[in-house]
């Protein structure tokens, strides 16, 4: 009998398809309509931190350089109050095989796929994760199919994404280029069902476990060099895997008191699934269109439960503007001789402002960089912005208007961060979690889970519950 491949029928089979393509029965971890066994889910693949380190060493992932940005620190101190201006360090993840920290996520997922006997992997990503999966699949002798949202309805593609297409193809992957919209998830489900390949989702447990080594390295290397753990780590955040894995790794190294700060590009006002807005943004990840929705509803993914849960780990969350990230990118290249891509420079832009708040003897770590290239360089991105009607100019970055104006600072003293109200976001998370379990009355166990998952308290959750 021919299987029904209509949109409605495929989506109705989602859980069945994912159970087969991930090799994981999520129902095992469900405890109520609200609560699930989070740590049980993370431990399900069966890999300790030491085992993840071994897996990554086999394919040259991890153990990347930790670099002190002395010239950048001096510049920040020149515009800081007396006694202020923390030392800024950077973990250079560009040194990974495909050029970003996403190799850590892909390395464990692809290894796991090979271990379970899958012949190939499928990945839905328009950015660094796509290249990482393609690279790791080549190393493990698996086939790779990459799904990318590349074009708007005019068939115009962003230079950064088009460059990633070429990179994935260079690693031998088969790339499916799609237009923006709801078809991405539907097509991915059809492909994993028809091929029997492993679904290398960004949000499965192996993806988070792979990033734990990054947080662990940051903590242990800073301590080895400086005799103590870092005071704060700035993490570019979107769907939450970077924050979750880094924070877990810090804690496993004994650096649980280090402040974890999430940074995103402010793209408020632009809808990420909008054909009109698709090419009016200069960043494909690490922006507010992903970070805030994933904070409030973390399980909005291609798997039933998202193993990446940034609200569980964040101490602080901030926004920077597109222009500030372009400025930080240029600064890193000209002052430190490091030409790196925009994703890691989102957290660097935030660090330039946050370091001014901190004492001179404190240590602030930017925990990732990424490779750059023709499609990712500021010149290419800003040219594309102008071609799509965006005004680009120098001035006060507070005058930035997503989708309309990119304002690049004239000096480091203009760089600031806008703090997100995490109390408000935590309240929204609780309300949405309870609302999604319509007609269900939360138990005390549910309340404790919500408190852990939002890094709040039982009293706070009770106050946020609908009455």
pLDDT tens-digit series, residues 211-246: 999 999 999 999 999 999 999 999 999 999 999 999
Q: Is residue 455 in some structural domain?
A: yes
Q: Is residue 348 in some structural domain?
A: yes
Strand-pairing partners, residue 67, are: 90
Q: Average of pLDDT values for 376-388?
A: 93
Q: Is residue 74 in some structural domain?
A: yes
Q: Is residue 48 in some structural domain?
A: yes
Pick from 205, 220, 250: which residue ends a domain? Answer: 205
Overall number of domains in the chain: 3
332 in the same domain as 217: yes
Pick from 180, 205, 230: which residue ends a domain? Answer: 205
Contact criterion met (CB below 8 Å) for 85 and 76: yes
| pTM, full prediction | 0.97
366 in the same domain as 337: yes
233 in the same domain as 307: yes
148 in the same domain as 231: no
76 in the same domain as 32: no
With 90 as the cut, is the pLDDT of residue 343 above it? no
Q: Is residue 424 in some structural domain?
A: no
Coil, strand, or helix at residue 31? coil
Residue-number span of the structural domain to which 167 is assigned = 7-54+100-205
With 70 as the cut, is the pLDDT of residue 1 above it? no
Coil, strand, or helix at residue 310? helix
Q: Average of pLDDT values for 24-29?
A: 94
Question: Would you give the end-to-end CA distance of the chain in angstroms?
Answer: 50
Q: Is residue 2 in some structural domain?
A: no
Question: How wide is the angle at C-alpha 273 spanned by C-alphas 342 and 200, nearest 5°?
Answer: 70
Kindly indicate the confidence band of residue 342, based on its pLDDT and cuts at 50, 70 and 90: confident
Write down the mean pLDDT value for the chain.
95
257 in the same domain as 358: yes
220 in the same domain as 291: yes
297 in the same domain as 165: no
Pick from 189, 205, 221: which residue ends a domain? Answer: 205
Lowest mean pLDDT among 26-35, 94-103, 264-273, 384-393: 264-273
% the chain with pLDDT above 90: 88
In the prediction, which pLDDT does 3 show?
87
293 in the same domain as 198: no
**Max CA distance (Å), the chain:** 76
Joined tokens for residue 97 = 């095989």
Tens of pLDDT, residue by residue over 172-216, are 999 999 988 778 889 999 999 999 999 999 999 999 999 999 999
With 90 as the cut, is the pLDDT of residue 18 above it? no
Nearest to 400 by CA among 272, 316, 282: 282
339 in the same domain as 254: yes
Phi, psi angle pair for 34, to nearest 5°: -110, -40
Tens of pLDDT, residue by residue over 306-322, are 999 999 999 999 999 99
Q: Is residue 426 in some structural domain?
A: no
% the chain with pLDDT above 70: 100
Contact criterion met (CB below 8 Å) for 173 and 207: no
Q: Is residue 148 in some structural domain?
A: yes
Tens of pLDDT, residue by residue over 413-457, are 999 999 999 999 999 999 999 999 999 999 999 999 999 999 999
In the prediction, which pLDDT does 373 show?
85
C-alpha R_g of the chain: 21
Coil, strand, or helix at residue 307? coil
316 in the same domain as 178: no
Coil, strand, or helix at residue 252? helix
CATH number at residue 40: 3.40.50.1100
E-strand spans in 251-315?
259-265
In the prediction, which pLDDT does 121 show?
98
74 in the same domain as 22: no
């Amino acid at each position: 009998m021919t299987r029904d491949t209509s949109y409605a029928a495929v989506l109705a089979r989602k859980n069945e398809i994912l159970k087969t393509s991930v090799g994981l029965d999520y129902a095992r971890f469900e405890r109520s309509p609200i609560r699930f066994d989070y740590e049980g889910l993370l431990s399900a693949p069966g890999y300790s931190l030491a085992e993840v380190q071994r897996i990554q060493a086999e394919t040259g992932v991890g153990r990347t350089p930790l670099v002190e940005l002395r010239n950048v620190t001096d510049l920040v101190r020149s515009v800081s109050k007396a006694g202020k201006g923390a030392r800024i360090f950077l973990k250079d993840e560009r040194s990974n095989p495909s050029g970003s920290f996403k190799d850590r996520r892909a390395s464990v997922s692809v290894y796991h796929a090979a271990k379970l006997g899958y012949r190939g992997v499928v990945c839905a990503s328009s950015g660094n994760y796509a290249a990482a999966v393609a690279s790791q699949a080549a190393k493990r002798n698996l086939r790779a199919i990459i799904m990318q949202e590349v074009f708007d309805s005019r068939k115009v593609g962003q230079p950064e994404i088009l460059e990633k297409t070429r990179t994935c193809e260079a690693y031998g992957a088969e790339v499916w280029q799609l237009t923006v919209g709801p078809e991405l998830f539907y097509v991915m489900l059809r492909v994993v069902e028809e091929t029997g390949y492993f679904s290398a989702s960004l949000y499965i447990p192996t993806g988070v476990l792979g990033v734990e080594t990054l947080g662990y390295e940051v903590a242990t290397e800073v301590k080895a060099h400086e005799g103590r753990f870092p005071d704060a780590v700035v993490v570019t955040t979107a769907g939450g895997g970077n924050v979750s894995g880094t924070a877990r790794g810090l804690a496993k190294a004994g650096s649980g008191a280090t402040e974890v700060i999430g940074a995103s590009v402010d793209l408020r006002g632009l809808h990420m699934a909008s054909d009109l807005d698709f090419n009016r943004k200069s960043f494909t990840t690490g922006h507010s269109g992903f970070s805030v929705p994933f904070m409030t509803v973390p399980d909005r993914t291609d798997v039933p439960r998202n193993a990446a849960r940034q609200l569980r780990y964040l101490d602080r969350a901030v926004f920077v503007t597109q222009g500030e990230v372009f400025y930080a990118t240029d600064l890193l290249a000209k002052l430190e001789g490091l030409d790196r891509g925009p994703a890691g420079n989102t957290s660097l832009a935030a660090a330039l402002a946050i370091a001014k708040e901190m004492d001179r003897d404190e240590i602030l770590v930017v925990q990732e960089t990424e490779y750059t290239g023709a499609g990712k360089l500021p010149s290419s991105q800003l040219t594309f912005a102008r071609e799509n009607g965006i005004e680009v100019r120098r001035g006060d970055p507070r005058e930035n208007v997503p989708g309309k104006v990119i304002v690049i600072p004239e000096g480091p003293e203009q760089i600031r961060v806008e703090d997100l109200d995490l109390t408000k976001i935590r309240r929204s998370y609780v309300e949405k979690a309870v609302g999604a379990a319509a007609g269900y009355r939360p138990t005390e166990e549910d309340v404790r889970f919500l408190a852990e998952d939002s890094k709040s308290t039982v009293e706070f959750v009770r106050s946020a519950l609908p009455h």
